[in-house]
Amino acid sequence: MRISGLLGVGLDGDDGHRRITKGDDFVLVGGSSETHERMQDTMIRFGEALERRGKTLQEAEPAEVVDLLRESQE
């Protein structure tokens, strides 16, 4: 099994703004300003971690993707 893309959904946006961020391998939608920014930061760190390993999202094993996402949130 391979992962072709990631979807981040923020559920705490109640200010009427529609927040959407698209990347090559991900889409982030919703959330408060703070939550959406945190999702963006996580995806930046995740992309950098993949790059350091010399891999694309599609080349990474699912367990590796999960581990990198967890590390990127810290």
Give the separation between CA 40 and CA 42, rounded to whole angstroms. Answer: 5
- Kindly give the confidence (pLDDT) of every residue in the chain, 74 residues in length, as a single tens digit, with 9 standing for 90 and above: 889 999 999 999 999 999 999 999 999 999 999 999 999 999 999 999 999 999 999 999 999 999 999 999 98
Decide: pTM greater than 0.75: yes
pLDDT value, residue 74: 81
What's the rounded Cα separation, in Å, for the pair 40 and 34?
Answer: 10
Structure tokens at 22: 């698209």
Q: Which helix (H) or strand (E) holds 64?
A: helix 62-73
Q: What is the CA radius of gyration of the chain?
A: 13
Pairwise CA distance, residues 48 & 57, whole Å: 11
